[in-house]
Amino acid sequence: MGKLMRPAGPLFLFIFLSFLSHVTASSCDMSLDDMEVYHPIMGNQNEDPWKDCRSSSGQGGSDSVAKFGHRKRALGGEHWVGGHKHFRRVDGGVGSFGDAVRAPGGGNYDKFMPSAQSPGSGFGGGVTGSLSTEGGDLGAISSKPHGFAAAVTGGGSATPVIPRDVKELESLLASDSPAVIHLDKVYDYRGTFGTCTNCKGCVPDSYLQCPSKGQLAIDIGVGWCEGKRSQSVTYDKAGLNPLIVGSNKSIIGISKDAAIVGRGFIIKNVKNVILQNFRIEQINPEFVWGGDGVNLVGAQMIWIDKITFYLIGRQFIRTGTDASTATISNNHFDCHTKWSATCDDSHYWTLLAHGSGDRITFSGNLLDKCSGRSPKIGNLKGGDSVWHIVNSMFDTSSGHSLDLGPGITVLVEGNVFTNVAQTSLHESHPGRAFAPSDEAVCKQCTGVLGRECQPNAYRNAKPVPSTSSASVVLKDVAPERMSGALPPGKAAQTVLSTAGCDGKGEASSGNSVVGGEAGGLGTSVGSVKEDYGTGTGTRDGTDDEDDISGQGLAKSEHGAGTKSQESRVGDALVGGGAKGT
């Protein structure tokens, strides 16, 4: 990436004012979204993406960050990792990643990353972070409604209906009447809106790095393509027209073939909806802005459970801009793709949450080879969003997992991170996050939640840093009333056997999610680098960010011929010190 030369004098002023006239109004709704975060393969770096939105975020200057760290160890290992503090790096030190993670580099990366504390210092002094399977209950991983959407009932006692075809399904979804809709086959919407041939598009910067396996972009008219090279694109228009879902609906897959192909869902200004046990896939995977899987806008009591997301051009799930209340549980976010914005066969646009006051429980999910936004959370329109990220597995990322921006409160507990280059992107003023990984800190949850928190565990991954104390975060999470969380080892076992619509959290590659050794894979002591997020495009209320559709098989083949999770868990996970073969 070459450096841009800044023109001098009046010419620069003219260009700058012209730029502001386009950007200022849209920066905080992020119409200029791009994946300009640091990535070790792409080598790109963007400055703090939220800086234009600070005045409405309610989060002030540097005194609000850089205070809370933990002393942690690697998953099942004995190597200490310093607890993180949040301040900009000035020493230019280089962190050490495991063999499975590509090491970062570049002057901007060294310049802007926060560094870690020395071993032995930090907030709390206990020792956990191993794959313990002792204790806990199934409060956070459950086949019943739980978390912020525990009161959801969907279609209630309405007589179940199996739609005959895609037209009847669309009609049932949009109706005003309560409905229990059973899906028994593939409902393939590709071609139902026709094809847009040689339509406006553009070439993202990432595509130039790998044209044989990157994503082109559809120009949907929000300014994202401005400044990029124009490119004609041909895509299925169904993905730009998501299925509208009315209130009081249960949409439940009742067979292994149950799938929605080529279109996602828009759940806007409605309440009481259940999506459960089917696949959402093949929504223009070749294209940025190719379509979302599920789009929540001002939606209340939404439960998204046991869905397998696969080959979707844009976000698997997104929220914005009006507040939503949802539980996102037991899902398989399968990010394997041939069209990668990070040039490594992994999907980048995973989950984006920009609702102004969202309340989200994110539990028991498998994020499988996702190279970014897992999730990306930021509150840009005022209010304060609250997330509980619990008992989920983040497996194999060449980029980052969490991206925590301003105006949010997040409890991160009982999760497992394996082979993740950057567990969390952090800015100069990140959101309020509490991510315990030692026993002493976990005990601080008792007074507010009535239980201890569960530690997060890591292998070939750096600990997620806390940016606020337990008391600041937990008071916002307490109304969720979660009865408990599993320890990370037990969570890993459960997620591997239950995530996704087929009850298997397996990826198309068939590789072990945990893989290799459960113990002994320590991470080095010393400087630990994190990263910054980027702005993200959003339209107005209806389908605020994306929509479009895709090509490929009408039936997903991921998971075929793979080894069962149960046997892999027994070999690789049970007990913090067990060795794999």
Given a cut of 70, whether residue 404 has pLDDT beyond it is: yes
Name the 3-class secondary structure at 319: strand
In the chain, the number of structural domains is 1
In the residue annotation, 373 being an active-site residue is answered as yes
Look at 471 and 572; give whichever has higher pLDDT. Answer: 471
pLDDT of 128-139, one tens digit each? Answer: 244 444 433 456
Look at 86 and 409; give whichever has higher pLDDT. Answer: 409
Query: Among 45-49, 324-328, 379-383, 468-472, which is the least confidently predicted range?
Result: 45-49
Q: What is the pTM of this model?
A: 0.72
pLDDT of 19-46, one tens digit each? Answer: 333 333 333 443 334 455 556 555 554 4
Name the 3-class secondary structure at 541: coil
**Is the bond preceding residue 24 a cis peptide, omega within 30 degrees?**
no
Query: Does 434 reside within a domain?
Result: yes
Query: Does 21 reside within a domain?
Result: no
Look at 434 and 5; give whichever has higher pLDDT. Answer: 434
Closest CA to 38 of 89, 100, 82, 80: 89
Query: Does 18 reside within a domain?
Result: no
Name the 3-class secondary structure at 371: coil
Q: What is the signed CA dihedral for 551, 555, 556, 557, rounded to 10 degrees?
A: -120
Query: Does 106 reside within a domain?
Result: no
Closest CA to 335 of 383, 300, 367: 367
Check the CA dihedral 319-474-272-261 and report its sign: positive
Chain position carrying tokens 């991160």: 412
pLDDT of 257-276, one tens digit each? Answer: 999 999 999 999 999 999 99
Given a cut of 70, whether residue 416 has pLDDT beyond it is: yes
User: Residue 394's domain is classified under what CATH number?
Assistant: 2.160.20.10
Query: Does 46 reside within a domain?
Result: no
Query: Does 502 reside within a domain?
Result: yes
Query: Which residues span the domain enclosing 178?
Result: 55-66+129-514+527-572
Q: What are 447's two structure tokens?
A: 């007074």
Catalytic pick among 73, 373, 432, 459: 373
Q: How far apart are CA 296 and CA 267, in angstroms?
A: 5
Residue 464: pLDDT band by 50, 70, 90 thresholds? Answer: very high
CA 436, chain centre distance (Å): 19
Query: Does 438 reside within a domain?
Result: yes
Q: CA 99, 368, 131 angle in degrees (round to 5)?
A: 65
Q: Give me the pLDDT at residue 502, please.
A: 77
Q: What are 579's two structure tokens?
A: 């060795």
Q: Give me the pLDDT at residue 580, please.
A: 30
Q: Mean pLDDT score of the chain, rounded to an integer?
A: 72
Query: Does 368 reside within a domain?
Result: yes
Query: Among 184-188, 503-507, 548-552, which is the least confidently predicted range?
Result: 548-552
